[in-house]
Amino acid sequence: MPPSPRSILPVTPGGLALTALGALGAAASVWALWPVSPRVRVARAAQGALGSSDASVYWADVLPGTPPSGYPKDWCGAFALWALHQAGLAKDRNWIIGAGFLDGLPTTPTPDVGDVAYFTTNEHQAVVVGVDLPGGTVSLVNGNGTGGAVSPSVTPMSHVAAFYSIAPLLAEAPSDGSLPWIAASAVVVGAGAWVLLPSS
């Protein structure tokens, strides 16, 4: 007669501790593997560069094949395009000197995370990383910002000349559709190990 489930569950203190660790590991697997939206990836890339002042990193990505001597002085737009590239978006777009990269993207009155804010002053561009519609402000990450580095700011939406939507680029985003299934498999494996672990 096969043992009942109760007789094979880990009922000792050590077994219970191991079970708890297994459950925690399964939960961590779900969290780590769950898909992240392309917009969030853009924001994370921009925020991860805060404090950087090495413009050559961004120009090398968006102006491939151009020697550093040919890099433009202002690099806010290069940074914004670099952030999109890091998220797997606009990979077929490079910087066009004198024109930038926003041509063909629609403007929107209701920006979302990952969109690009455009200012007429110095033709500055920044990545939107947060939107407070009731408060009428946006949180931005600015290449070539304060002190010539990547810096954050919170700006009234009325001060932004235009918001360029990245919505048309989202269809290009790498698919993460398999990741929930991977996470679910990890949970099933963890649960199976938990049930089969013998007690002592």
pTM of the model: 0.74
pLDDT in tens, the chain (200 residues): 555 544 555 566 666 665 565 656 655 554 444 568 999 999 999 999 999 999 999 999 999 999 999 999 999 999 999 999 999 999 999 999 999 999 999 999 999 999 999 999 999 999 999 999 999 999 999 999 999 999 999 999 999 999 999 999 998 766 554 455 455 555 555 555 555 555 55
pLDDT at 48: 98
Q: What is the 3-state secondary structure (H, E, C) of the chain?
A: CCCCHHHHCCCCHHHHHHHHHHHHHHHHHHHHHCCCCHHHHHHHHHHHCCCCCCHHHHHHHHCCCCCHHHCCCCCHHHHHHHHHHHCCCCCCCCCECCCECCCCCCECCCCCCCCEEECCHHHCEEEEEEEECCCCEEEEEECCCHHHCCEEEEEEHHHCCEEECCHHHHHHCCCCCCHHHHHHHHHHHHHHHHHHCCCC
Architecture of the CATH domain 38-167: Alpha-Beta Complex (3.90)
- The domain spans of the chain are 38-167
148 burial via Cβ count (<10 Å: 0-12, 13-18, 19+): exposed
Q: Residue 62 and residue 94: Cα distance in Å, rounded?
A: 5
